[in-house]
Structure 1
Amino acid sequence: MTAFDELMAFQRETSALGQIAGRLGWDQETVMPRGASPQRAEEMAAIEAVLHARRSDPRVAEWLDQAAPQDEVGKAQLREIRRAYDRAVKVPADLATAIARTTSAAQGTWAQARADEDVSAFLPVMEEVVSLKRQEGEALAQGGDVYDAMVEDYEPCTTGAQIAAIFDEMRPRLVALRAAVLERPEPAALTGSFDELTQMRLTQKLAVTFGYDLNNGRVDKAVHPFSSGSGLDVRITTRTSETDPFNCFYSTIHEVGHAAYEQGIDRDYLLTPLGRGVSMGVHESQSRIYENQLGRSRAFTGWLFDQMKDAFGDFGIADADAFYATVNRVHNGYIRTEADEVQYNLHIMLRFDLERALMAGDLQVSELEAAWNDRFKADFGYAVDKPSNGCLQDVHWSVGLFGYFPTYSLGNVYAGCLYQALRGAVPELDEQLAEGDTTGATAWLREHVQQHGGLYAPREIIQRASGVEPGPEPLLDYLEQKFSGLYGL
């Protein structure tokens, strides 16, 4: 075997172990007994110790020096392996293990604190998580910006300053659009009760409609919806509310976007660095375009209206046009995952600024709830009513995902660019969506984005697919056109 062959064989074993760790995480958030949390923390720490040892193994450096790839794919494999190795060797093994142990335990603590509306019960473990993640960030940054080092895990070659500049460009037009919309009469909201088993049956149908392969996946329930896995085993979760079926349906479509990306990657890349999404921003471009530009479009909501009538009978919305307005209703709310397209990115900007301050040491964990509530009141004009609608609503910080939040808005930006190109490439898109047929859109996304996995850098894959340099202009134009039409602006 050549050095390249030996390196790839070693990498496939490491990736397989990483998938096992991911499955432990899926189990913890879906079906694991609550009392198993302390043991699961030790299990996660043990497997992280093995993974860290493999990722920082000195033989990886030797193989990288000796490997001579023969094609573009081989060169991309080495690029990704080298990037991961250079990061792994900077983080002490005991720190990596401690982070895995602490975040596993913190996830359970967060879920219980959220259920109890008790921030004080979560703060001690949050202090531990933040301290450990700062140490990791400092090790990775080696004198540079700690937050930039953390963003690199989720969106390579992107800095906090670059993200802040994009957000500064987006904010004025978003705030102006929101102000104009909120001056207009608000469409009717859903009312009544929607059987949760019926919701789950329809959500399974929606998952398949958007191309999710249930032979290699499954749909379960969790406190916070997520997608897990890659290759031949890609699982999603959703959640139900008896009074809000949209929470279930659009969470499912969103997570199917993530899952379809992973299922759509070229199988030749299975269990290699190219066999997963290249970045969370590109991942979010898929979930957000599935959920919003496709799933909340006038064409598709007309089909969904009929599906809901079949499932629930008369549910109080008169016709497909009124249903489209209800689905896209801009309204006050606390929850990021339930936010309308106009306000969603403002929720992300809040989290971005707070977590950046936490990592810089400018904000202490003990101050987090007050800082969140003050910022929310300033940005949205009304007060947070309870912790589960405020700083306890998201799972991300409990499991150490600092630097992740801004990728949601980067994903929206990327999705805007992709949708502009998609509409030109599939002129019959609306007619297809009106029939509940997403294949024209999903096939285009699979061909131009998903199949490539990690072959190209994040911004490069979006530019290749869309034909434009990624920027917020297409997204903002789309939002202004859509909501001007909806609200008669």
Structure 2
Amino acid sequence: MSAYDDLMAYERQTQALSQVAGRLGWDQETMMPEGATPQRAEEHAAMASVLHARRTNPQVGEWLAKAEATDDVAKANLYHIQKDYDRTMRMPSDLAEELAKTTSLAHLVWAQARADEDVASFLPMLEKVLKLRREEAAAVGDGGDAYDALLDSYEPEATGAQIAGMFDALRPRLVALRAAVLDKSAPAQLNQTFDEAGQLALSQKLAQAFGYNTENGRIDKAVHPFSSGSGLDVRITTRTSADDPFNCFYSTIHEVGHACYEQNINSDHLLTPLGGGVSMGVHESQSRIYENQLGRSRAFTGWLYGQMRDQFGDFGISDEDAFYACVNRVSDGFIRTEADEVQYNLHVMLRFDLERALIAGDLTVADLEAAWNDRFLSDFGFAVEKPSNGVLQDVHWSEGLFGYFPTYSLGNVYAGCLHAALREDIVDLDDHLARGNTEPATTWLRENVQQYGGLMKPVEVIAQASRQEPSEGPLLDYLETKFGGIYGL
């Protein structure tokens, strides 16, 4: 056995334990009885301690020093293991354990605060989470920018300054498009209720239409939809709303995009550093292109219209064109996950600026709600009337995911680039989508993006697939063309 072989055998065990830790989180969101929270926090902390000990084992360093890369796969594996080893060695074990325990507890506090519309009850816990994340950033950042140190966990090699520059380029055309669209008459919207069983049945059909392998996955309900796992066990969640079935359908398609990325990675990479999505930006590119460029296209919504009529009967929308406009209706709203394509990135920009300020110490937790409300009013033109529509709406900060939010918009930018190339390569795509057949598109994404997992760096995989360096241009062109057509601009 070579040093590389020994290292990879050890890494497979570490990856397997990491998957077990992830399953604890999935269970907490879907199945766990509420009273189990204190014990689950201890379990999370124990797993974090075990994983930290494995990742800082001096033997790993010895193997890394001796291991030789004989091909691109070995080179990529060693790159990821070395990077993780260096970062974890700078992270104190007791801090990793405390973070796992605190964020597990904070999630329950957030959920209750959100239900009670009580920001004050959540702020002390958020203060604790923020303090721990700042300590982490100081420990692993090696003297660099604290926010960049956290961002690197989700989008390797990206910086807050780069993201801010991208947002500066996105904002003017997005704001102009939003103003032009909202100046027009809005399309019809749904105005009746839809039973949960029917929504979940159609949701299951949509998941399968987009290629989700339910033999290696399952669909459950959660307050905040998410995807969990990799390889042979990839689970998703969705949610239902009696008067908004699109929330269920497009949450499902979105999470299927994440799940299919994980399911379609080359099986040779199972339980290795290459066996998961390479970054959250690339991950989000898959969920967003499934949900929006494919799932909300005129061709696919024409098929979905027929499916909804089969499931629910006449639901008040006259024809396929009216349904397409209804699905893509631009309207004022508070909730990021329910936002239309025109306004979604504006929601992300708000969170990005606020969390950068929190990490930098330029904004206090005590002032966060007021800062959120002021910024929302400035950006969207109407006031937040309750915390669940404002600062308490997202789960991310309770889980300590500072640096995660900008990857949502980066994923949209990546999706815009991929969609442009996909359309060039599959000229009859709409003919397939009109029959509910997404296979040509999902096969293209599997072959050009998903199969590689962590083999290439994020920008490299997008650039290779889209045949251009990633930029915001294709996304903005797509949005202006699509919504210009719907609204007659």
TM-score normalised by L of structure 1:
1.00
Give distance in 2, aligned partners of 1:100 and 1:391.
Answer: 22
Structure 1 residue 249 displacement after superposition: 0.3
Verify: 1:453 aligned to 2:458, yes or no. no
2:349 maps to 349
Counterpart amino acid of residue 43 in structure 2: E
Give distance in 1, aligned partners of 2:419 and 2:134.
Answer: 37
Counterpart amino acid of residue 369 in structure 2: E
2:415 maps to 415
Give distance in 2, aligned partners of 1:424 and 1:83.
Answer: 37
Counterpart amino acid of residue 429 in structure 1: L
Verify: 1:14 aligned to 2:18, yes or no. no
1:116-140 Cα deviation digits (max 9, x unpaired)? 1111111111111000000001111
Structure 1 residue 142 displacement after superposition: 2.5
Alignment map for 1:192-271 (pairs within 5 Å)? 192-271=192-271
Structure 1 residue 197 displacement after superposition: 1.0
Structure 1 residue 56 displacement after superposition: 1.3
Counterpart amino acid of residue 451 in structure 1: Q
Local SS of the residue matching 2:236: strand
Give distance in 1, aligned partners of 2:435 and 2:316.
Answer: 23
2:479 maps to 479
1:13-37 Cα deviation digits (max 9, x unpaired)? 0000000000000000001000100
Give distance in 1, aligned partners of 2:379 and 2:196.
Answer: 34
1:313 maps to 313
Give distance in 1, aligned partners of 2:368 and 2:262.
Answer: 35
> How many aligned residue pairs are there?
489
Structure 1 residue 59 displacement after superposition: 1.1
Counterpart amino acid of residue 291 in structure 1: E
Local SS of the residue matching 1:397: helix
1:403-424 Cα deviation digits (max 9, x unpaired)? 0000000000000000000001
CA-based RMSD of the aligned residues comes to: 0.5
Counterpart amino acid of residue 415 in structure 1: A
Structure 1 residue 365 displacement after superposition: 0.7
Q: Which runs of 5+ in 1 are unaligned?
A: none
1:189-236 Cα deviation digits (max 9, x unpaired)? 111110011100110000000000000000000010000000000000
Structure 1 residue 385 displacement after superposition: 1.2
1:333 maps to 333
Alignment map for 1:258-407 (pairs within 5 Å)? 258-407=258-407
1:77 maps to 77
Counterpart amino acid of residue 247 in structure 1: N
1:55 maps to 55
1:148 maps to 148
1:68-105 Cα deviation digits (max 9, x unpaired)? 12101000000011111111011100000000000001
Local SS of the residue matching 2:317: coil
Give distance in 1, aligned partners of 2:438 and 2:74.
Answer: 33
Give distance in 1, aligned partners of 2:119 and 2:189.
Answer: 31
2:169 maps to 169
Counterpart amino acid of residue 300 in structure 2: F
2:123 maps to 123
Give distance in 1, aligned partners of 2:56 and 2:114.
Answer: 36
Give distance in 2, aligned partners of 1:471 and 1:57.
Answer: 40
TM-score normalised by L of structure 2:
1.00
1:249-299 Cα deviation digits (max 9, x unpaired)? 000000000000000000000000000000000000000000000000000
Give distance in 2, aligned partners of 1:29 and 1:441.
Answer: 31
Give distance in 2, aligned partners of 1:401 and 1:200.
Answer: 29
Counterpart amino acid of residue 447 in structure 1: E
Structure 1 residue 351 displacement after superposition: 0.3
Give distance in 2, aligned partners of 1:56 and 1:420.
Answer: 43
Local SS of the residue matching 1:228: strand
Q: Any runs of at least 4 consecutive aligned residues in structure 1 with deviations exceeding 6 A, and if so which?
A: none
1:145-204 Cα deviation digits (max 9, x unpaired)? 000000000000100000000000000000000000010000111111100111001100
